A and B are shown apart, each in its own frame.
Chain A
Amino acid sequence: MATIDKMEQQLRPAETAMAPYPAKYITLASGEKMVVKQVARENCGIVLETVKPLMTVERDFYDIVASRIYSEVLGHMRYRVKDEYVLLGTVDGEIAGVVNGRLVDDKVGMSYHTMTIKQGLRIGAQLFAAKMEYHFDILGQDEVWIVAESPNGFKRWMIEYELVSRPETWHELGGVPTYVLTRELWEKHKAGKCTGRRPVPEELLAKAENPRLPGKYAQIPGFTR
C-alpha cells in the first residue's frame, strides 16, 4: 500500500495554493438569477454528467469541447492536472453552464473551456468573464492564454476582447496558436463584460450548493435523461 501511495504521489502534480473564487450572482435578461460558484474537486462528478450528452453533438464543435471538458475535469478530480479550477453557473439550482481553466504559473493563467447549456441569455459570455475575473482580480495574474475551438468562441473572445495574438506560444489544447488577454485589455473591457453581485443571498446560495443536472439541452432536441 505504501508503495502505491508513493507511486501515486509521484504521479500527481505539485499544487499551488489558490484563493477560492467568491460566489456571485447575476440577473439574466429573463429576470432569472444565475449564481456563479466554484465547484470543489470532490463534487465535480456532476460536471462530467452535465457535459457527457454533448460529447456526440458535432454541431458547433460541442463534441470536441464536451470531450475535452470531460477529460480535463476528470483529470482534475484524479489529480492529473496541475492547478485547475471549475466554475459552474446555475439557475434555480440547475446547471446552466460551466467554465474551467488552470494556472501555468503564479502570473500566467490558461483558459480551458466555456460551455453553455441554457442558451440565448449570454450565459457563456458571463461565465467566461467570471473566469477572467478569477485570474485577474482574485488570483492577481498578469495574463491569460486563450484559444477557441469554435467560430462562436473566436467571435466572443478573440474579437470582442481584442485579444493579442501570440502564435509563438502554443496552447496546450492541441498546440494551436495562443491569444492572450492581458491585464490592460481586461481593465479596458471589464466594465462592459463582467457583472454580478456579492454576497449571494442565502436562498440562492443554498440551491447553487446542490446543483442539479440540466433537464434539457438546446443542442439536443427531445433530450431525456
Chain B
Amino acid sequence: MRAVGIVGVGHTKFGRFTGSFLDMAASAAKEALDDAGVRPVTGHGIDQVFLASMGAGQVNKISGAASALVDTLNLRPAMAETVENGPASGASAVKLGYMAIASGLCDTVLVVGAEQMRVISGWEATDFVATMSHPEAEYPYGLTLPAFAGMFTRLYMDKYGVTEKDLAIVGVKNHENAMHNPVAHIKLVPNLYAITEDEDANVINPYVAEPLRVYHTCPVSDGAAALVLTALDSGREFNHKPVRIAGVGQATDTHVVAERREPTELFAVKESARRAYEMAGIGPEDIDVAELHDAFQILEIAESEEVGFFPKGTGHLAAREGKTRVDGEKPINTSGGLKAKGHPVGATGVSQVVEIVRQLRGEAGGRQVKGAKTGLTVNFGGFGNNVVSIVLTTRERG
C-alpha cells in the first residue's frame, strides 16, 4: 500500500456557528486547503472529498451533503461521499480517505467533518444522538448516551473505586488545556473544590445522569474540521512536511450494550487500538500524545486503560497523579477534549486528528507536548459499538 500523510489542517471555532452548515464545513475545508498550499498540476488537485456528519440529514435537512460541499468549494468534478458512522463518522472518513489513497485510486483527498447541533434544543440533540442506540432493544425505552454513561460510571465506581472527584479532575484538566486552544468551545476553568466539595456544589454542578454531573460531560457544539491527505509518493509539494498516517484500526462490539460479557470493558476501543498499533509497528509505550473520546469523563479514564496506557482499573489513579496532563508522562486531550473543546459529533474524529497534527508539527502553543513525534486518536461511536483508532507520526517509515 502507498504511504499516506496529512499536509493540511483546518478547524472552525467550536461552539455556536451562526451561518449555514455548508458555510461552516467550507470554512474548515478552505483553511485546510490553504494550510496545505495545494498547488494543482491540473484543475484544483483534489481527487475526492469525504464529508463526515452524523446529523446533516436528520438535523439540518441536508442529505447528500458532500455533493453540496464539493460544489460550494468549486472542487468539481472531484468524487464526493458523505460518511455517517455516528460519533465515529469523522475518523471513519479519515480511514476512507487513507484507503482511497493507499489503494492507488486517489493522490490527494480532502476530509471534512461537520456538525451543526445547536440549531435544536439540548433535549432534541440528546434524542438525536440516542438514535444510534439499538432501534429495538434500547432507543424505544428512552435510553440515551448520558444514561449509558451514567450506568457505566456507576459500575466503574463500584469495581475500581473511581470517585466523582476523579471525574472532575479529568474535566478540570481538559478545561485547562482548552484555555490554550483558540478553537475550543468553552473558555472557562472550573475550580475543583467549588464543583466537588463546596456547600453549593450540588446545585452549581448538578447531576445530568447520576453519578455524572454537568462538569463530567461534554457540551453540545457546532463545528467543523478538515484535513488534506496525500500520497507520500505523489511527488507533489505542499507547505508542510506530511504527518504520516502510520496505523488505522477499527473494531465493533455488540450493538446492544447489555449483551456485553463484561460491561466495564470497552472491547472495540481495545481492539481498534491494537490493530492501529500493529499496523504502525508500535505499542502504547511509543505514543507521546493522545486524543481520546471523552464525551463523558469516565470514557477518558476507561479508554486510557483499554489503549494500554495504564493497567485496567488504574486510569483514574493516573489522572489523580497528573500523568495525563500536558507535562505528564502520557498527555491526553491536550486540545481540551470533547469536554471543553466541544463535541460536534461528526466533526470530532477529524478534529482529534487536527490536534495531533498540530502537536506533531510543534504548533500547539501553550498546550504543546515537548518533542511529540507520535500520537493516537480514539473516536468512539455508539456506546463503544464502533470505534476507530488512528496512529500518526513524524517518524520515518520503519
Whether A29 and B205, one on each chain, are in contact in the complex, defined by CB atoms closer than 8 angstroms, is yes
B121 / chain A contacts, CB cutoff of 8 Å: 151, 155
A140 interface contact, C-beta 8 A: no
Q: A28-B194, A155-B122 are in contact. Are A194 and B203 (CB under 8 A)?
A: yes
Whether A197 and B194, one on each chain, are in contact in the complex, defined by CB atoms closer than 8 angstroms, is no
B215 interface contact, C-beta 8 A: yes
Q: Which residue of B lies closest to A25 (CB)?
A: B200
Whether A30 and B191, one on each chain, are in contact in the complex, defined by CB atoms closer than 8 angstroms, is yes
Whether A30 and B194, one on each chain, are in contact in the complex, defined by CB atoms closer than 8 angstroms, is yes
Cα separation A127 to B322 with both chains bound (whole Å): 36
Whether B199 and A122, one on each chain, are in contact in the complex, defined by CB atoms closer than 8 angstroms, is no
A159 / chain B contacts, CB cutoff of 8 Å: 123
Whether B215 and A29, one on each chain, are in contact in the complex, defined by CB atoms closer than 8 angstroms, is yes
B286 interface contact, C-beta 8 A: no
B151 interface contact, C-beta 8 A: no
| Binding-face segment, B19-27, B182-190, B238-246, B268-276 | B182-190
Q: A27-B198, A31-B194, A151-B121 are in contact. Are A192 and B206 (CB under 8 A)?
A: yes
Q: Which of B122, B191, B193, B204 contacts A122 (CB 8 A)?
A: B204
Which residues B1-19 have CB closer than 8 A to chain A? 18
Please encode chain B, from 199 to 237, with 1 for each CB lying within 8 Å of some chain A CB and 0 for all others. 111111110000000010000000000000000000000
B195 interface contact, C-beta 8 A: yes
Number of interface residues of A (CB under 8 A): 21
Cα separation A120 to B121 with both chains bound (whole Å): 17
Please encode chain A, from 195 to 219, with 1 for each CB lying within 8 Å of some chain B CB and 0 for all others. 1110000000000000000000000
B206 / chain A contacts, CB cutoff of 8 Å: 192
A138 interface contact, C-beta 8 A: no
B205 / chain A contacts, CB cutoff of 8 Å: 29
A12 interface contact, C-beta 8 A: no
Please encode chain B, from 26 to 45, with 1 for each CB lying within 8 Å of some chain A CB and 0 for all others. 00000000000000000000
Most buried by B among A31, A122, A126, A193: A31
Cα separation A34 to B312 with both chains bound (whole Å): 41
A26 interface contact, C-beta 8 A: yes
A121 interface contact, C-beta 8 A: yes
Shortest distance between the CB of A122 and any CB in chain B (Å): 6
B194 / chain A contacts, CB cutoff of 8 Å: 27-31
Whether A196 and B200, one on each chain, are in contact in the complex, defined by CB atoms closer than 8 angstroms, is yes
B122 / chain A contacts, CB cutoff of 8 Å: 155
Q: Which of A26, A29, A120, A151 contacts B195 (CB 8 A)?
A: A29
Please encode chain A, from 2 to 30, with 1 for each CB lying within 8 Å of some chain B CB and 0 for all others. 00000000000000000000000011111
Shortest distance between the CB of A57 and any CB in chain B (Å): 12
Q: Which 8 A-B pairs have CB atoms at the shortest separation, nearest pair first?
A: A31-B191, A195-B203, A195-B200, A31-B194, A27-B198, A29-B190, A27-B200, A120-B188
**Extra pairs beyond A29-B191, A155-B121, A155-B122 (8, CB < 8 Å):** A27-B194, A28-B204, A29-B205, A120-B186, A151-B121, A192-B203, A195-B200, A195-B202
Can you list 14 contacts pairing A with B, beta carbon distance less than 8 Å? Answer: A27-B199, A27-B201, A28-B194, A29-B188, A30-B191, A31-B193, A31-B194, A59-B18, A126-B203, A155-B123, A192-B203, A195-B200, A195-B203, A195-B204
